[in-house]
Structure 1
Amino acid sequence: MSALAERAAGLLGGKLASAADFAGGSLSSVEFVRLEDGREMLVKSGPSPKAEARMLRAIRAAGVPAPEVFAADDAVLAIERLADDGGLSTAWADLGRVVRKLHETTGEAYGWPDDYAFGRLAIGNASSDDWPRFYAENRLLAAARGTGADVERRVEALCGRLGDLLPSRPKPSLLHGDLWSGNVLASNGRISGLIDPACYHGDGEVDLAMLGLFASPTSAFFDAYGPLAAGHRERAPVYTLWPALVHLNLFGPGYRGMVEGCLAKAGF
């Protein structure tokens, strides 16, 4: 039995019956664990299990489906396993409603109580009341470091103009923060849960841009989500740039074209 599963069992005051590898993300290990008393769960590592637990609880508190947190400490997170039949293609309308509900929950400023990370890439979340500055310093410039002089120069130029490209004080919506299709679970045409969050408060268009990076949300999604602010199409490449930079930074030059495409569409 793995040390990860044993640790989770200990946190829950149970004895481990079985543990098996479970398909998960590229930045953490995930196991399906069963205790002798019949309890079942997913157990995962991560950069900060306690911080992820607080994010999942915040999403659930917003009335949005997400796994229940069973236990968390500095090394392990034990959560509910939710139904998933891979059927997002029939659940786009429900996802639109779910994401709208998430974004209707707001904070007092941009940021989050916890800093976070994607693997070795730190994600700063210090509170700010200046959205373009927050997005420039904590997202774009931070993720561009180490990606090469040309990309860094172009990102710096874009950030110098960010006050002209982004709203200064959009509604500080609760964001999932890593809302790509692989982090959306669906079953029988409904969303069963949002997983693997990197929450903070910011412009809701960030989540929408991320969702469109590796998938194509349908008109049913946008009809259910509701009207978008004027200029959202022009802002989309700026918001897509951050996850593109993250992929380039973490996974290498295969994502350089994606980054350069976002920069070109943004005019840089």
Structure 2
Amino acid sequence: MSRLARHGAALLGAQIWNWQALQGGDIAHTLLLYLNDGRKVVVKNGPDPVAEADMLRSLGRTGAPVPQVLGVDEDALVLQYLPADGTLSSGWLDLGHVLAQAHAGRPPQPDEACYGWPTDYAFGTLPVCNTWSRSWPEFWAQQRIGVHLEHVGIDLARQLEALMRRLPDLLPERPAASLLHGDLWGGNVLVSGGRVSGLIDPCCYYGHAEVDLATAGIFDRPAPTFYAAHGPLEAGYEVRFAIYRLWTALVHLRLFGPTYMPLVAHYLDATGANGG
């Protein structure tokens, strides 16, 4: 029997009669446990289960649907099992409403340095730095772009440095500091009956709400109702979307290799970094 399955059951003081692996697993292992008392629960490991539990609770406090945290320690996170028998193609409208609800969340001290998160996080072995900043372009330059410079080739690093210098002209200085899911794509949205049943696998921090709107369109094609339900997009969003998607592309490049270099190049081009 899986060690993770046994550990998850132990956190609940329960016994297992069966378990199965769930989809995903590139960064964390996720299992569905069938307990002897009739419950179904989800257990996963990851870079920091305690931090992930705190992020889920923060999202949940806004009223956004998330799985309830049933048990957690430094090695595993046990979550409520939520139905996921639908597809995102039927849930875009509701996702727009759900994100608007989550984005109403504000940092604990909104008048201080308000962009960031109380702790750093990680995607597997790749650090996600969340040091607080008073300036949104500065936060994005330092914590989302600059952190990659030493880990990519010299040509790409030079292009990224050039983009960093332009960010004060491309991003708003002080947008509302919204609670972000931080890794929003179709695989992290559970849908049932045309409604979002749960947001999962967060990488939360406080920042510009457009980040989540942008990343939702990296691997999926959001319906127009998604953006309409969240609220009207502000002028110039196309370039900002490219800047925000670039971070996700850089993360994939470092985690999974050069097959993601064309995606990085595409979003760099879309920012005008190469004169486009």
Q: Fold conserved (TM > 0.5)?
A: yes
Asked if the contact 1:143/1:242 (under 8 Å) is kept, the reply is: no
Distance apart, 1:154 and its partner CA = 0.6
Asked if the contact 2:86/2:193 (under 8 Å) is kept, the reply is: no
Distance apart, 1:35 and its partner CA = 2.1
Distance apart, 1:152 and its partner CA = 1.1
Q: 2:156 aligns with which of 139, 148, 151?
A: 151
In the alignment, does 2:49 pair up with 1:46?
no
Q: 1:210 aligns with which of 211, 215, 222?
A: 215
Asked if the contact 1:144/1:245 (under 8 Å) is kept, the reply is: no
Mapped partners of 1:62, 1:25: distance in 2 = 28
Mapped partners of 1:216, 1:106: distance in 2 = 28
Aligned to 1:23: 23
- Please show how residues 182-261 of structure 1 align to structure 2 within 5 Å: 182-261=187-266
Q: How much is the aligned-residue C-alpha RMSD, in angstroms?
A: 1.2
Query: Which one-letter code corresponds to 1:55 in the other structure?
Result: M
Could you tell me which runs of 5 or more consecutive residues in structure 1 were left unpaired when the two chains were aligned: none
Please give the secondary structure, in 1, of the residue aligned with 2:151.
coil
Give percent identity, aligned residues only.
48
Equivalent pairs counted in the alignment come to 268
Query: Which one-letter code corresponds to 1:158 in the other structure?
Result: L
Mapped partners of 1:70, 1:103: distance in 2 = 24
Mapped partners of 1:25, 1:139: distance in 2 = 24
Return structure 1 stretches of 4+ with deviation > 6 angstroms: none
Please give the secondary structure, in 1, of the residue aligned with 2:33.
strand
- Please show how residues 1-268 of structure 1 align to structure 2 within 5 Å: 1-107=1-107, 108=110, 109-268=114-273
- Normalising by structure 1, report the TM-score: 0.97
Mapped partners of 2:86, 2:151: distance in 1 = 35
Give per-residue Cα distances to partners, 1:185-241, cap 9 Å, x unaligned: 111111111110000000011111101111111111111111122221221111111
Distance apart, 1:12 and its partner CA = 1.2
Please give the secondary structure, in 2, of the residue aligned with 1:258.
helix
Could you tell me which runs of 5 or more consecutive residues in structure 2 were left unpaired when the two chains were aligned: none
Please give the secondary structure, in 1, of the residue aligned with 2:211.
helix
- Shifted more, 227-236 versus 183-192: the winner is 227-236
Mapped partners of 2:80, 2:223: distance in 1 = 29
Asked if the contact 1:121/1:143 (under 8 Å) is kept, the reply is: no
Query: Which one-letter code corresponds to 1:151 in the other structure?
Result: L
Query: Which one-letter code corresponds to 1:215 in the other structure?
Result: D
Please give the secondary structure, in 2, of the residue aligned with 1:161.
helix
Mapped partners of 2:21, 2:105: distance in 1 = 35
Please give the secondary structure, in 2, of the residue aligned with 1:201.
strand
Query: Which one-letter code corresponds to 1:19 in the other structure?
Result: W
Mapped partners of 2:47, 2:187: distance in 1 = 19
Asked if the contact 1:171/1:202 (under 8 Å) is kept, the reply is: yes
Mapped partners of 2:86, 2:165: distance in 1 = 41
